[in-house]
Structure 1
Amino acid sequence: MGYPKPKSMTNRSLKICLFVSFIFLIIVATVIISLSLTIFKPKNPDVSLYPIGLKDLQFFQPNVTIVPLGLIITIVNPNYGGFKTKNTTGFLNYHKTLVANVPIKTEFLPARSTTNVTAIAGLMTQNLISDADFLSDIEDGSFNLTANATLHGKVHMIKVFKLKATVYLSCDMFFNITSFDTHSSCITKIKV
């Protein structure tokens, strides 16, 4: 015939179980917070813009108002999470004048990788030519454009977590017309 266990034994076992569970939760919370502040802390991507087909670019074509300029956007994602962008539009400016819209399609940027994205900028040649500074820049053999875009999307962490994020992009592009040389300098900012 079995005897019931004394209440003090049952209460003691329950207290030990609760204490161990509490310690386990503290350890898990500490690990998650440490990882989110170190390894999983969002880092700004590195972006470069490369125009293509500059040799064939004709600014002064009669009856042509929009000239296509191909762009390769190289994005280095240093984060441990992939980023899926939504369709968006970038803008090219000459000084403060809008000279092109750049549609950017949805892309998935895998974690810790480099991705090349192609886009076509529709250069509004009339906006460029009507700016008095542009003609003097052409005579000097070079000109600058600035590119801006806001990429909205979701960060995919460990194939489990999905967080909304936005990447703000601003680039300065230098065009040397005589040597067809270009280079860009970009600043990015990610906000989760």
Structure 2
Amino acid sequence: MTKPGTAINSRKGLKICGGITVIFLIVLAIVIPTLWFTTLKPKDPEITVYPQGLENINPFSMLSMRNMPLNMTITINNHRNVGSFKFKNSTAYVTYRGDVVAEVPIRQNFILAHGKLNITISTVLMVSKMIRNRLFFNDVGAGSLNLTATAALHGKVNLFNLLKMRATAFSTCDISFSIFRRQVKSICKSKIKL
């Protein structure tokens, strides 16, 4: 036969256990979203494009060219992220006034959490396509040729080998070649989408 005091004590113990469980779940419900939005949520990577050799080009000598080799170094800086990013083979496109003038193959790769990756790529700039654009000579006369490079890197973000999610890193880089100064400037914007 159960003593009355024992039944009361077990009910009291169940209430205490239930109360502690509820408090624990409330704390988790607050802590996990806070961690996600402050520390764990993937942030936009910093992507920079450095075209090499463009500054040595004479736009007037371009008239006799059909294609021109163009080397590019792409730097992907993941220093703000606690997760690594593995992406698949992709293609970046370089456009001049809306016309695709180069396709840049980007091979699959892996970027560590808080890491940095440099990719060196060789491509061909279709000069004949640029010259055919009716605004090419206006741009040469103004002293500046402007190109845009765009890429979408599809892959997976890995957080501590516990959470893996699909993500795409989008990048748009405005590349400006100053003809008279022989300088190339590149300004990039990047965004990650889960």
Q: Tell me, yes or no, whether TM beats 0.5.
A: yes
Amino acid at match of 1:110: L
Distance (Å, rounded) in 2 between the aligned partners of 1:189 and 1:45? 7
Output the CA distance in 1 between the equivalents of 2:127 and 2:75.
Answer: 26
Question: Identity of counterpart residues, as a percentage?
Answer: 39
Q: Aligned partners of 1:111, 1:60: CA distance in 2, in Å?
A: 46
Once the two structures are superposed, what CA deviation does each residue of 1:65-88 show, in whole Å capped at 9, x if it has no partner? Answer: 543311111122222211111111
- The TM-score normalised by the length of structure 1 is 0.84
Among residues 105, 108, 124, which one is paired with 1:106 in the alignment? Answer: 108
- 1 CA distance for matches of 2:95 and 2:50? 16
Structure 1 unaligned segments of length 5 or more: list them: none
1:68 aligns to what? 69
Alpha-carbon distance between aligned partners in 2 of 1:137 and 1:119, rounded to the nearest angstrom: 27
Greater share of helix: 2
Separation of aligned partners in 2, 1:185 and 1:151: 18
Residues in 2 aligned to 1:29 and 1:182: alpha-carbon distance in whole angstroms = 50
- Structure 2: 5+ residue runs without aligned partners? none
Q: Does 1:116 align with 2:110?
A: no
- TM-score normalised by length of structure 2: 0.84
Provide the rounded CA distance (Å) in 1 between the counterparts of 2:12 and 2:128. 84
**Corresponding position of 2:38:** 38
**In the alignment, residue 41 of structure 1 is paired with which amino acid?**
K
Supply the distance in 2 between the matched residues of 1:118 and 1:107 (Cα, whole angstroms). 12
Q: How many residues align?
A: 188
Of stretches 167-176 and 13-22 in structure 1, the one that deviates more from structure 2 is 13-22
Equivalent position amino acid for 2:172 in 1: S
AA in 2 matched with 1:75: I
More displaced 10-residue stretch of structure 1: 93-102 or 141-150? 141-150
